[in-house]
Structure 1
Amino acid sequence: MLFWADCGSPFFLFMAHHVFVFLEILSCEGGIQSYVKDILQAYSQLESANADIFLLRDGADVENPFVSEHMRFHYCKMDSAKLGRAKLAIALFTHLLKHRPSRVFCGHIHLAPLVELLCKPLGIPYTVLTYGKEVWEPLPSRKQKALQNADRIWTISRYSRDRTCAANGIDRDQVDFLFCAVDGNVFRPQAKAPELVQRYHLENHQVLMTVARLWSGDPYKGVDVTIRALPDILKSCPDAKYLVIGRGDDQPRLQKLAEELGVSDRVVFAGFVPSEELPKHYCLADAYVMPSQEGFGIVYLEAMACGVPVLSGNADGSADPLQDGRFGWQVPYRDPVEVAIACIEILKGEDQRCNGHWLREQSLSIFDKPAFTQRLKALL
């Protein structure tokens, strides 16, 4: 954003200065980290890019593809977490006092109390970026106050907005949307890779697929529900198999459930798959099935960009990537009967939502990276 100020003659051009504060984005992978990287990538493409980025848990020894003369990074990682927080507080306060940025973007609710403490006395507006479950329940008083006092709040879905506002006394008009994005150049339709078909024994099978972390403390992804739906699915689609991509300590329970239901020969646990191999794996699927509770669900975007029809839960943030059912099937997320009915319908392939070309084109028009960059530009 550019500001013109008449300082006599000639005119002088001032560029908005932004500050971003994140926990970590370079030293680990996860949904929040991917989302933040998308934000930084989009921001770097703006003509008005001019930011200092403070990282609490990342060190300067980690490869950083975002560094440029317009995006300056400050690393606060220390051997002691307490010393790291102190380093961040001092560095951030010094920077705010000296440069008085036009806005501070707080990348996680854990950092919001510090950002509020430093910004409010200096009259610097701040925005809190939220992602999902971390703000769905009532927050401790300091974090809740910092969220309530933010000038703006960004979130990734209507569902996440509604839960955050209800739990923490936030005015809905205070919240803006920056939906997740997908790279249509990376996730695109391709023929089923013969080596993967052979590896997972999928020859002559219709494939249902889920990509999810299999963690016992967070079983909401719905893998167990889909396994429970398999006996009914197989009655109508006897060639169906279920490919589960992901790892975690809940896998033994899920394997035992498949055995108890007599469908263990139809469930394939593929384990961890590197990010660069995911597009080929999505293209193995005839349907992407994840009846879960998501803050958004970028995996639905990835599947649709590959031309794969999708099934989600009907009471979560997936309503946004699925556009309230226009792009896919929404079912009660703990109901195996409804999951089975929807899967059978998808595997028949008669609905427009099974048209891979149409599905890709429609979803990318809203959620591709260029659209994400334009949303970010509008918010700034």
Structure 2
Amino acid sequence: MTTPLLTSNPSSVRSPLGESTHLFVFLEIFSCEGGIQSYVQDVLRAYEQAAAASSNPQAAEVFLLRDGVSCENPFDHLNNPYLQFRYFKSNSPWWGRLTLMGVLLGRLLRQRPASVICGHVKLAPLIRLLCKPLGIPYRVMTYGKEVWQPLPGSARQALQDAQELWTISRHSRDRACESNHLDPEQFKLLPCVVNGDIFSPGPKPAYLLERYHLQDARVLMTVARLWSGDIYKGVDVTLRALPKILHHHPDVKYLIIGRGDDRPRLEQLAQELGVSEQVVFAGFVPTEELPDHYRVADAYVMPSQEGFGIVYLEAMASGIPVLSGQGDGSADPLQDGKLGWQVAHRDPEAVAQACIEMLEGKDARVDGPWLRQETLAQFGEGAIAQRLQRLMGFQ
């Protein structure tokens, strides 16, 4: 049995700011890729910014149940005064959890932090078990589908007893309340963010135009997992809309970025619809190339059902107009349709009409500089750091 490694920086277990004021507890954020993991890293960056801007900066410890010391951690450097990390990965999952529980209880008894931030509903019963008898307030971070269905009684009780529940969108809040009898007043919105320095407007990169044979084409683009369990992303709906779009704009091509087991079905659908020559399946794209892929697009199309949809922020920060689904968390990044087109997410006719309007370019929602300005004002990293500063009680 492997004993969990509790810190990667034994020489800096204590922050220069003194005892940790806040504790974050997560499942994992570095050992695997995903939307939650990316979002959590954005929250931690916002915490650093908020603490640095505060007249009374407060340090935090970050406990990671499934991450090990070998994980690449961009925050874990010796001169980081605001975040210190503890790793509990073990060959035996129950041993790692037991060790985390013991170390966390010791911290709570000795330090009595101002609050504990629980990073996933799966950890919430444990956090409640330790914090509630000690009178230490705790918050629970929620994201989307993990709280949209009725939860086991212990998890629901842990959410109900939390000081606050943080979530990414109004839609996620409303779904969680409906399914688990939660008080909407408990919820605080901490939405996704976009880095405007990385996702920014620019000319269409020549190397991508050549790679995908997009010269002289107007490009619709989707970035999504092509998994058979994720057909709600709406790639098939956009394919069905393509014949009508091509009737009005014959120079259009549809660039699909992503990989998964649903790709053969989607390729077959494009063949059946007679649009396979206008569809490019790009497969996996490295993170560093993603900003250039947005720049090659004329419109971003994903008639999905999202908890939020950070891809919409990335497109709009790049000056690209967007189409989303309707009645989901995308209402927040699109600001209730102010910044983009919201359509019924399984309706090819509605998708086609919206795409035609976007490509005609007569609507104010295609104004790239304005889209970028409005997006960064609400969802730039600085704006979210200020929101977190208020939530954490920094002065």
> Could you say which TM-score interval applies, normalised by the shorter chain?
over 0.9
Per-residue CA deviations over 1:247-280 (Å, capped at 9, x if unaligned) read 0000001001111111111111000011111000
Paired AA for residue 240 in structure 1: V
* Preserved contact between residue 20 and residue 61 of structure 2 (Cα < 8 Å): no
2:120 alignment counterpart: 108
Structure 1 residue matching 2:229: 3-state secondary structure = coil
TM-score relative to the length of structure 1: 0.95
TM-score by length of 2: 0.91
1:369 equivalent in structure 2: 381
* 3-state SS of paired residue (2:209): helix
- 1:16 deviates by 7.3
- 1:93 corresponds in structure 2 to 105
Q: 1:148 Cα shift?
A: 1.1
Does the residue aligned with 1:202 lie in a helix, a strand or coil?
coil
Question: Counterparts of 2:128 and 2:247 in 1: how far apart (Å)?
Answer: 58
Deviation at 1:27, TM superposition (A): 1.2
Q: CA 1:190–1:108 in 2, change beyond 3 Å: closer, same or farther?
A: same
SS in 1 for 2:336: helix
Contact 1:197 1:284 in 2 (8 A): yes
1:330-369, aligned counterparts within 5 Å? 330-369=342-381
Match of 1:122 in 2: 134
Deviations 1:140-164 (A, max 9, x none): 1111111111110000000000000
Match of 2:7 in 1: none
Aligned-pair CA distance for 1:26: 1.1
State the Cα distance separating 1:199 from its structure 2 match. 0.7
Please tell me the residue identity of whatever aligns with 1:229: A
Superposed CA deviations along residues 57-81 of structure 1, whole A, max 9, x for unmatched, are 1111222222323322111000111
Deviation at 1:84, TM superposition (A): 1.2
* Larger deviation, residues 86-95 vs 273-282: 86-95
The residue correspondences of 1:36-185 to structure 2 (distance < 5 A) are: 36-45=40-49, 46-47=51-52, 48-67=57-76, 68-185=80-197
* Helix, strand or coil at the partner of 1:21: strand
Equivalent position SS for 1:82: helix
**CA–CA separation in structure 2 for the residues paired with 1:309 and 1:340:** 15
* Cα pair 2:18 2:59 within 8 Å, conserved: no
Structure 1 segments, 4+ long, off by >4 Å, are 13-16
Equivalent pairs counted in the alignment come to 368
Flag structure 1 segments of 5+ consecutive residues without an equivalent.
1-12
1:28 corresponds to which residue? 32
Q: Which residue of 2 aligns with 1:234?
A: 246
1:218 match: secondary structure? helix
Give the secondary-structure state (helix, strand or coil) at the position aligned to 1:137: coil
Instruction: State the alpha-carbon separation in 2 of the partners of residues 323 and 71 from structure 1.
Output: 33
Unaligned runs of 5+ in 2: 1-16
Letter in 2 for 1:355: D
* C-alpha separation in 1, matches of 2:107 and 2:88: 13
Partner of 1:324, secondary structure, is coil
AA partner of residue 40 (structure 1): L
SS, match of residue 283 in structure 1: helix
Give the letter for the 1:44 counterpart.
Answer: E
User: Which has the larger displacement, 58-67 or 111-120?
Assistant: 58-67
Identity score, percent: 62
Residue aligning to 1:10: none
Contact 2:299 2:322 in 1 (8 A): yes
Asked if the contact 1:49–1:71 (Cα under 8 Å) also holds between the matched residues in 2, the reply is: no
